[in-house]
Amino acid sequence: MPALKNDRYLRALLCQPVDYTPIWMMRQAGRYLPEYRELRAKAGSFMNLCQNPELACEVTLQPIERFDLDAAIIFSDILTIPDAMGLGLHFETGEGPKFERPITQLDQIKNLPVPDPEQELRYVMDALRTTRKALNGKVPLIGFSGSPWTLATYMIEGGSSKSFTKIKQMMYAEPEALHLLLSKLAQSVALYLNAQIKAGAQSVMIFDTWGGMLSHQSYQDFSLRYMQEIIANLDRGIRPESGTQGYVPVTVFTKGGGIWLDKITGIGSDAIGIDWTMNLSDARTITNGKPIALQGNLDPSVLYAPKNIIDQQVEQVLTEYGAGNGHVFNLGHGIHQDIPVEHVEQLIASVHSRSKRFHQ
């Protein structure tokens, strides 16, 4: 593989010096881009895009070809593991993901297989291999998975939820059953991410989208514990003191998880993603003295604003983090599908130009 031409993102994750703050965006390959919408229409369905390695590669590269981003993230979905377990994932227009066979009882959990990443999920690995080659060292490639808790919410609720009553019922009434499911998912995610690393991912991320709806103790028992277990089983190499040298950093992101930042710092990740509800200065104070980078945290809705307001908001985020290394600029969650493309261009240019003085 060719050497990286731009490794700022990886260096920032390792709290190493960079000349400006690197930026990528959650959901940067997706519906806000006209070229994505065109390709999605040709493919016929979202799952056709995900399960075709060449098309997934094309979608991954679309924002990299259009914008001066500092990392690419493989185009896929967080629900690939439950789908590979046989739950029958499908997407209904306007309603999001649905499972034909949601989890309702212990016997189902006992019978769930642990997917082989190079068999049932080979299309993801092929997409990573194809994309890593196509990038030709331009920027690093990020792999990812949903967290066990987040995957379990979809598997038990049967799709998206606002109240999460079904999984919380299991959590309080049948905790042993839920722990068995989460343990099986943690094993599956670790295998999945290790296979992604082997296939070419240069950084991996765990998305804990729904951890923030848990109570304080439940978050530690049913979400954080299993992310820590995954990280302990990742084959990411030995963290270097300088340079990246083949090491694969891991980032964890719990939406709404800023209140647990002090707990998250102890699970072994290299970086922590935070959303817009937490001040970066406060977050940096909590992680002070630990070699942990912070990723975030612009409110995605800022990108609806005029360009001068985008500049002001970028300045605010950069100032909150302050001078020094260890910051990856990102949105506090995924980009909205109706954001103007020119506003994304403004965001990236603003981050690159305005952040230079924080790294002198």
Task: Give a yes or no: residue 177 inside a domain.
Answer: yes
Task: Give a yes or no: residue 145 inside a domain.
Answer: yes
Task: Give a yes or no: residue 354 inside a domain.
Answer: yes
Of 9, 11, 36, 40, the catalytic one is 40
Per the structure, the count of domains in the chain is 1
Residue 77, marked binder: yes
Confirm whether 270 is a catalytic residue. Answer: no
Task: Give a yes or no: residue 306 inside a domain.
Answer: yes
Residue 312, marked binder: no
Residue 226, marked binder: no
Contact 32, 336 (CB under 8 A): yes
The CATH number given to whatever domain includes residue 89 is 3.20.20.210
Of 7, 70, 77, 270, the catalytic one is 77
DSSP 25: -
pLDDT (tens digit, 0 to 9) for every residue of the chain, 360 residues total? 788 999 999 999 999 999 999 999 999 999 999 999 999 999 998 999 999 999 999 999 999 999 999 999 999 999 999 999 999 998 876 678 999 999 999 999 999 999 999 999 999 999 999 999 999 999 999 999 999 999 999 999 998 888 999 999 999 999 999 999 999 999 999 999 999 999 999 999 999 999 999 999 999 999 999 999 999 999 999 999 888 889 999 999 999 999 999 999 999 999 999 999 999 999 999 998 899 999 999 999 999 999 999 999 999 999 999 999 999 999 999 999 999 999 999 999 999 999 999 998
Of 31, 122, 225, 284, the catalytic one is 31
Task: Give a yes or no: residue 1 inside a domain.
Answer: no
Confirm whether 354 is a catalytic residue. Answer: no
Q: What is the DSSP string of 284-304?
A: HHHTTTS--EEE--B-GGGGG
Confirm whether 27 is a catalytic residue. Answer: yes
Task: Give a yes or no: residue 2 inside a domain.
Answer: no
Contact 294, 326 (CB under 8 A): yes
Task: Give a yes or no: residue 320 inside a domain.
Answer: yes
Confirm whether 154 is a catalytic residue. Answer: yes
Task: Give a yes or no: residue 3 inside a domain.
Answer: no
The range of the structural domain enclosing residue 217 comes to: 8-359
Residue 31, marked binder: yes
Residue 190, marked binder: no
Confirm whether 299 is a catalytic residue. Answer: no
